Chain A
Amino acid sequence: ETGVTQSPTHLIKTRGQQVTLRCSSQSGHNTVSWYQQALGQGPQFIFQYYREEENGRGNFPPRFSGLQFPNYSSELNVNALELDDSALYLCASSAGTVGEKLFFGSGTQLSVL
Chain B
Amino acid sequence: GQSLEQPSEVTAVEGAIVQINCTYQTSGFYGLSWYQQHDGGAPTFLSYNALDGLEETGRFSSFLSRSDSYGYLLLQELQMKDSASYFCAVRQQTGANNLFFGTGTRLTVIP
| Chain A contacts to B: CB under 8 angstroms | 4, 31, 33, 35, 40-45, 48, 55-56, 58, 90, 92, 94, 97-107
| Chain B contacts to A: CB under 8 angstroms | 4, 31, 33, 35, 40-45, 48, 50, 87, 89, 91, 93-104
Contact between A42 and B104 (Cβ–Cβ < 8 Å)?
A: yes
Contact between B97 and A56 (Cβ–Cβ < 8 Å)?
A: yes
CB distance from B88 to the nearest CB of A (A): 9
Contact between B89 and A42 (Cβ–Cβ < 8 Å)?
A: yes
In the complex, the 3 A-B pairs of residues with the closest C-beta atoms, listed nearest first:
A56-B96, A42-B101, A104-B42
A45 to B89, CA, bound (A): 11
Assuming the contacts A103-B45, A104-B42, A105-B42, asked whether A94 and B102 have C-beta atoms less than 8 A apart, the reply is no
Assuming the contacts A42-B104, A43-B43, A90-B42, asked whether A100 and B33 have C-beta atoms less than 8 A apart, the reply is yes
B residues in contact with A97, CB < 8 Å: 95-97
A residues in contact with B99, CB < 8 Å: 35, 43, 45, 102
